[in-house]
Structure 1
Amino acid sequence: MSITVASVPASHVYIRHLQHPDDAARRTEAPEQPEPRESEHLVVGRLPDPPSPRKDTPTGAPWWPPAMLDPDWIAAHDFDLMHVHFGFDAQTPEQLHEVFDALDAHGRPLIYTAHDLWNPHQEAPALHEAQIQVLFARARAVITLSDQAAEEIFTRWGVSAEVIPHPHVVDLELIRRYAESPRRRTEEFRLGVHLKSLRANMVGIEVLEAALAALREIPRAVLQVDLHHDVFDSSGTRHDARLVRWLKRQDPELLDLRVHDFFTDAELFDYLSSLHASLLPYRFGTHSGWMEAAHDLGTTVIAPDVGCYRSQGADFLYRWQDGRLDAASLTRAVQAASTQAASTHAAGVLSGSAQSGSDPDDHTPWRAPAAPARQDWREEQRRAIAAAHAQIYARALSEG
């Protein structure tokens, strides 16, 4: 038996990694006609993303805005159910109701995964809350990624959400390769803060100042700050002159500034694998795919105590209090991450699992040991995630 899903979107890495590993290589052009084979699990096929109606789609999101969220598209295509994840930002609540009315008219259930309870791109949460209110009301089943999010959804909206964790982001084979050959240097502790294009939930100078203060107490520590050209360049559409002036004043021996455009996947994974810890500079938000990619590569994550990052699995937390950064808590988190990196290295040396060339007496313990078991864990988790989704889909169809 197979189920055909219109996933919104389909090509995002999160959705691609919901697929059972044994089915991942299946053709998706015609999922309504799956290749015959024996299987112990329900086969889920996902329609490919239709071409976006826009020619200037964002970098990294060629599917936006999703063409599937349209009553005419729904009427013209054959599928069993729709599963919405991202991309409904472009629709008003009234337009979303029209889309879901079209699903009802064709007897197709709606499944919604609540990734964001506060859209990280929007300073004011009101519009997003109105949109997800529609999704909560119309969905036959709701999924979210953490226990903390499920509790908030039930408290605020009275909806019971099933918790299914975020799958891996880095491809399984790459997880093994990076575990065998991580990019971390042995002579330093490297903390990374990637400000990207300074989306609404990101904080620059305040977080960077606190991180630098913490690193000054750690021998051979480096803060790597990455930033996109649209923020750094004076002609950039999101240029932040105050931040750029501040960055240029810092000691280049302590702050390693790197300005570039949007990372490719390969560049992102090389970057994350080169860090001992990644600090998320967020003052609001919910969940993080960035955190999952870091964990795929053995990189520690320091996250704020807002949203659901703790419940998702952040390694260390720092606090925001009444909208202000608690710098002391960030210092403690950074110092704890550096201590963890040192003890991890020491344990690897003693067990003989450290990389060649390491010396337990060289006083430069900033190396994470290889962890090939990480690939096995992520593959097992992905099988469980795929099975959980298939069960929800089958139940939604049977209840129709």
Structure 2
Amino acid sequence: MIKIALAAMMAAAFSGAAQAEEFLVGAELPMSGALARVGSGMHEGVMVAAEVFNRNNGKHKVKILTVDDESTPAKAIAAVEKLASQGVVAITGGYGSNNIAPASDAANKLKLVYMTSGGVDDSLVSRGSRNFFRINNTAGYERAVLGLLDEMGAKSVSIVYSTKDATSDLAVSVQKALASKGVKAEAHSFDPAITDFKPIINKVKLQDKSEVLLMVGYENDYVGILRAARVLKPSLKALVGVWSLATPKMAAEFPDLMPNVYGTALLPFPATFETADGKAFADTYRQLYKKEPDYLGQFGYVQASLLFDAIARAADKGTVRKGGIADELRKTDRGTLIGRVQFAANGDNPNFVHRMGQHQDKKIAIVWPKEHATGKMAYPAVPW
């Protein structure tokens, strides 16, 4: 009798394991091209989320299919269409609002949820798309930049920004906010194709004579601006950037340009975590990639984890292919590694507020806000 009961239990366990559903999830990301560094960072976070989910969920599993969008809009659309043809139930990834907009439009037409942390252009959430979700936004970046500048006591700021939608929106908004506070704010736009930033930096040096240079662009832009500033040496007290700047990759690849530079960062480097979710992320990240996690991986992990959980809940209700993933995401109200996440009707997360980090001694310290600071702000201080 005992043997029969034991056999029955083993059979039931085997049956349950055999019936575990595996869902294909697409990752459309820039694994090559101008945005490859950020794309690979986000992809690492997505893969960590898949590993943690598959280990802990038990009832459902996910398999990630990755397609490189090569940092271009046309290839982003093609990537989404290819993933749809392979049977994915949702898509996570994308970087750069100009790539995400057409890619997520394609996903919406195919009735696929598109989840990202790589696009902050406000037009992304004003299109009426039922299937678009993001965990961060321009407002959260603006609050962080303005908070840092206020703590510095900056009296004058030169804003050098790319003419792409997301960067333009943030630059214009920050300039208006600074002007309303009585801070002198001069703005200089540049075409994304520019490679020589010396004429702009010369204006900052000779005309603006600002205390702070705020760079609103992407990785290659930052490198070009910082190289020009290193040559011309304007009389600045600080150089501040936004996304994709305060990362270990930038510190490792451009050690002469990064010292004392500020950028948005949710994590110090090396990273520390106190919560169970944070420790699971960090431990798994280190196991998979043999290095310390950064905030790009953190974003990828959070967006993917929320998506996988929504897929699992929709699967339990039998609504995965019936719009259930979007429905479950809209019910989300969860504490995450980037703070509380909820999704409004337009797919935006109204709770997002970023933090500011500074490259210090081959490490990255969180210096704003004070309640999350892991180091003291070095100010005035520049890379040269």
Normalising TM by the smaller chain, what interval? 0.3 to 0.5
TM-score, normalised to structure 2's length?
0.37
TM-score, normalised to structure 1's length?
0.36
Q: Judging by fraction of residues, say which structure has more helix.
A: 2
